[in-house]
A and B are shown apart, each in its own frame.
Chain A
Amino acid sequence: MAEETRKMAFICSKGNLDMAYPALVMGWAALGNGIDVTIFFTFWGLDLINKARVDHLEIPPIANTSMKMNMMGIPGYIGIPQFMGIIPGMTPFATKLMKEKMKALGVPPVREYLQMLVDAGAKLYACKMSVDMMGLKKEDFVDGVIDIVTAGDFMDMTENAQIIFI
């Protein structure tokens, strides 16, 4: 195969549990299909690679109108009243439900999933501006994060790549 390897780059800007998965699932599929994968973590997306945060990502029902009670086994698409989202314990409850659903589907937790991607050759980078803003250091990140880079570096390293912003 002399043709050039297809390249994909994901920009992860969100730190909620549900928003951790798109890049992991698509990145894993891309690697499995022989596509070169780079992931750039910026703003709240840094939580996905922050050692202290990656196992504690959450999904809040508040302001999430797609989340319906059928996740709790109630049939149909009955909404969760928004005021209920502010009740203490709702976010951990929703998070626990989502983690259980993912586990039942055989989807690994975020930390393990990231490691799979790294082992398969994905290159992970943290955004310098966000890192500076949040007062983080390279030691705060999980193994596999290659470096802290600027937006300009990211442009250089993703030449000819298809870029997906999450």
Chain B
Amino acid sequence: MPTKKIAGFEVQVNDEGFMTNPAEWNKEIAVALAKEEGIEELTDAHWKVIEFCRQSAAASGAAPTLRAITNGAGVSTKDLFALFPKGPAKKVARISGLGKPEGCV
């Protein structure tokens, strides 16, 4: 398993750059990953989504789908796509230190 230094922390990642151990994640890593994804600043609205994803994954073992996020985090589809532009599905999961979402909706 390759490792990568993100925000000064050595973490395990897969070939696509997703962290493989959610326990290694922290907020500084999220900020650094967000910058890599082109999001300069994580606002309260971003954190609300990220925290929901973390909780959801802790309960289910997999990153939530976009629809699970809009329903669960109380954020509209429009806002979710504005917060994480150009492909929120992978971006949200990656910034949250999770794998790619499993599920089609």
A residues adjacent to B (C-beta < 8 A):
1, 5, 25, 28-29, 31-35, 105-108, 115-116, 119-121
Contacts and interface: CB of A to CB of B under 8 A. Distances in A.
Contact of A119 (B81, B87, B104, B105): B81
A34 B86 contact: yes
Given A116-B67, A119-B78, A108 B86 contact: no
Nearest to B68: A106
B54 interface: no
Contacts of A28: 66, 104-105
A116 B87 contact: no
* B interface SS class: helix
B26 interface: no
Interface residues of B, number: 18
A123 B67 CA distance: 19
Interface in B41-68: 66-68
25 contacts: A1-B86, A5-B86, A28-B104, A29-B89, A29-B104, A32-B66, A32-B88, A32-B89, A33-B87, A33-B89, A33-B90, A34-B85, A34-B87, A35-B87, A105-B105, A106-B103, A106-B105, A108-B105, A115-B77, A116-B67, A119-B76, A119-B78, A119-B81, A120-B81, A121-B81
